[in-house]
Amino acid sequence: MALYKVVVFVLTNQILRANSRHMAGASVNENLHVFEDNTDDTTDTYWLDSMTWKKDAVRKHMVGPKTPNYCSVCTCSQYNERLYVDCTDKGLENAFDDISRKTVDLDYTRNYISNVVYDNFRGLTLLKVLKLSYNKIRQIAKDAFRDLTSLTDLYIDNNNIITLQIGIPEGTFDSLINLRLLVMHGNVYVYISDASRLNGRTFQPLKNLKFLVIDGFRKLKFDYHFLNTRLSSLILKGPPCGCLLNVVDDDIFDGLLHLQNLSMRHCNISSLSPVALSRLKSLRYLDISKNYHLGMQHVLGPIAKALMDSNIKILKMNLVSDPYQVGNRLDNENLFYINQLNLTELYMDSNSIEIIDFHNPLFSKYSTLKVLSLK
């Protein structure tokens, strides 16, 4: 039997074969943003709700006798009295204690910082963006962020915060009332992930949190404390080998009733509860790709059925079957519940689909589907 390796675009209810690349501009959502993931071989596209990403106007480099001492190590610039301090890749073992209170953007990415304490950010009430990615941080002092009341973006990913409940004690985020984006994956080691717990009380004060990237580890649960947040976008990730979520239980997302965008890509999921997804009534985007232990035939119907009461528009199920398995069938029977959804884009690449039933209509003539990918 011939193996179909094509992309099928569903346009005005007619199925057309096209080349194996997604046509430019085919996405139906103007708020999609592209993130390059250096640990993977693909470009991930995620929904970021209404969040915007803008480059600041050209900044002037700070020079002269009044230039702070740390600017001799880091790159300091200013624009309209706002200060930007870039200490990326400077070999620092400690953060500075005398950063100007006019600083709005502070970047310590790729250094050797192991401890984060209050003095590092004392008085930085105007700080909007703080990046501590790719350091050696094991623990953040409970009061380290106490003065950062204006902070909107915080990056603490790819550090050594192995056990979240210890490395980020309850109360650490209490002052971050304006935080919208929190990126903290690449901390929990997959081989000892059972030691880590997600303390919902730590995240409860983040009432404006909209976008979270966090490690997917065993027994992960977003409990009722997350109901106080405005979390709309969640990405579960991990180190280069992927996260180790394994089992998605019924109650994993109980505190995320307003979630719109969810990615559990490459999370070694072998069991996915339809009940967990059925509770996400606001869901618009779901990616469960690269969880090949699931099996396409076992998830295609149940997952679609679970999403019938949601607002799902984009569903990605690439490589959810064993790559060595053959004979996955795609017909109007196992697409029954897919046809009940108001999908605009459906991706089922790399699932060894060898049989496609073209004798009967695969999709309803009333289908809203615009893009079907079967590479």
List pLDDT tens digits, range 167-200. 899 999 999 999 999 999 988 875 555 667 889 9
- Contact status, residue 363 vs residue 369, Cβ threshold 8 Å: yes
Q: What average pLDDT does the chain have?
A: 81
Percentage of the residues of the chain whose pLDDT score is greater than 90: 56
∠ CA(341), CA(346), CA(351), 5° rounding?
A: 125
Complete domains list, the chain, with CATH:
1-30+303-375 (no CATH), 39-302 (3.80.10.10)
Dihedral angle sign, alpha carbons of residues 147, 224, 315, 270: positive
Taking only the tens place, the pLDDT of each residue in 252-300 is 999 998 999 999 999 999 999 999 999 999 999 999 999 999 988 788 8
Q: What are phi and psi of 214, to 5 degrees?
A: -145, 155
SS3 121: helix
82 Cβ partners below 8 Å, 6+ apart? 102, 103, 104, 105, 126
Instruction: List, as one string, the DSSP characters of 180-209.
Output: -EEE--S-S-GGGGGG----HHHHTT-TT-
Q: Which residue, chain included where needed, has tokens 């996405």? A: 27
Name the band, by pLDDT with cuts 50, 70 and 90, for residue 25. Answer: very low
Percentage of the residues of the chain whose pLDDT score is greater than 70: 78
Spatial distance between the Cα atoms of 155 and 141, rounded to a whole number of angstroms? 16
Spatial distance between the Cα atoms of 348 and 328, rounded to a whole number of angstroms? 11
Please give the average per-residue pLDDT across 340-347, as a whole number: 92
∠ CA(29), CA(35), CA(38), 5° rounding?
A: 155
196 Cβ partners below 8 Å, 6+ apart? 162, 163, 164, 165, 188, 215, 217
pLDDT of residue 190: 57
Please give the average per-residue pLDDT across 135-156, as a whole number: 97
- Tell whether the model's pLDDT for residue 102 goes beyond 80: yes
Q: How many CA atoms lie within 13 A of 134 on its CB side?
A: 10
Q: Which two tokens stand for residue 227?
A: 């109901």
pLDDT of residue 239: 64
∠ CA(80), CA(83), CA(87), 5° rounding?
A: 150
Q: Which residue, chain included where needed, has tokens 């998830």? A: 299
Residue type, 74: C
